[in-house]
Amino acid sequence: MNSRYLGALTLIPVLVMVFLGGWPLKLIVTLLAARALFEFFSVTRKKGLRPSQALGYALLAAYYVILLTGGDAFGHLGTIIVAGTAAGFIMMVFWDEFDLTDLSVTITGFIYSGVLFGYLILLDNLDNGLIMVYTVFIISWVCDTFAYYTGRFFGKHKLIERVSPKKTIEGAVGGAVAGALGALAVGMVTALSTGIEPYHFLVMGLLGAVLGQVGDLAASAVKRYAGEKDYPKIIPGHGGVLDRFDSIMFVAMMVFFYNQYIIR
């Protein structure tokens, strides 16, 4: 428990940089994405896979250079993935130890760790972007907290036991409802400044809470596939970046899409 408290303290500077927005957010998200890619590759290597770190980090660098310089990173993402895939096939020709599975894991690692984290930067660039970044964290934190306590006191039916034995259906429902209400509260408080109807936040909260829990389960599924309990530890008592930000990444993606295609 003391270790978890210490870990929570070490996260405070990270969260301060995120909540400041602008360049502090861009810098810390870039570092988090790079660390997340390292953790993903480390865990998959435990399973005997051989993702290319050189290719993975090259793709990450290319994408984040565009993100950090204000370019249309979202528009260029397809080109980066295609170029990375082509480079991977070339590597397969000249290196026997690199095969199609390794290429797939490399590209997946870039998308999972780099692209999903990048949605926090894309959100910050939008009108009302910093409020949307706050909304992402409110949805995730409120959902996680209420899912835990709802599951602890009322949970009777396992959600997906083979992936996460302790999670329950009751906990998942409680977390989804709480996440939606938490986002609604943000929408009601900020309605005058954003001009966005609060019901949009309610919908984002519900969708985000569901996807955030899926993101949590997905991170657990990768660890279980590799036979690992945690990602490589960097936060005392909390594991790795992917252990703590797995739901944030999926919520950020959903909130960005909702802003792009629904609110606009």
Among 33, 66, 54, residue whose Cα is nearest residue 103 = 54
76: helix, coil or strand?
A: helix
The domain total for the chain is 1
Return the pLDDT at 152: 86
Asked if residues 144 and 247 have their Cβ atoms less than 8 Å apart, the reply is yes
Whether the per-residue pLDDT at 8 is higher than 70: the answer is no
Q: Is the dihedral of CA 9, 15, 19, 24 positive or negative?
A: positive
* pLDDT band, residue 4 (cuts 50/70/90): low
Q: Could you give the percent of the chain with pLDDT greater than 70?
A: 95
Residues whose CB falls within 8 Å of the CB of residue 53, separated by 6 or more in sequence, listed in order: 41
Residues whose CB falls within 8 Å of the CB of residue 70, separated by 6 or more in sequence, listed in order: 125
Task: Provide the 8-state DSSP code for 159.
Answer: S
Distance from C-alpha of 191 to C-alpha of 201, rounded to nearest angstrom: 10
Condensed to tens digits (0 to 9), the pLDDT of residues 96-148 reads 889 999 999 999 999 999 999 999 999 999 989 999 999 999 999 999 999 98
**Can you give the residue range of the structural domain that contains 220?**
2-263
Q: What mean pLDDT comes out for the span 159-176?
A: 86
Return the pLDDT at 25: 96
Asked if residues 244 and 112 have their Cβ atoms less than 8 Å apart, the reply is no
Q: What mean pLDDT comes out for the span 148-169?
A: 83
Q: What mean pLDDT comes out for the span 203-231?
A: 91
Regarding predicted confidence, which is higher, 164 or 221? 221
Distance from C-alpha of 24 to C-alpha of 21, rounded to nearest angstrom: 6
Asked if residues 139 and 208 have their Cβ atoms less than 8 Å apart, the reply is yes
Task: Provide the 8-state DSSP code for 244.
Answer: H
| Average of per-residue pLDDT values in the chain | 91
Return the pLDDT at 214: 94
* pLDDT band, residue 80 (cuts 50/70/90): very high
Residue at token pair 């252990």: 243
Q: What mean pLDDT comes out for the span 153-171?
A: 83
Q: What mean pLDDT comes out for the span 33-54?
A: 94
Whether the per-residue pLDDT at 3 is higher than 60: the answer is no
Regarding predicted confidence, which is higher, 179 or 10? 179
Condensed to tens digits (0 to 9), the pLDDT of residues 12-39 reads 888 899 999 999 999 999 999 999 999 9
235: helix, coil or strand?
A: strand
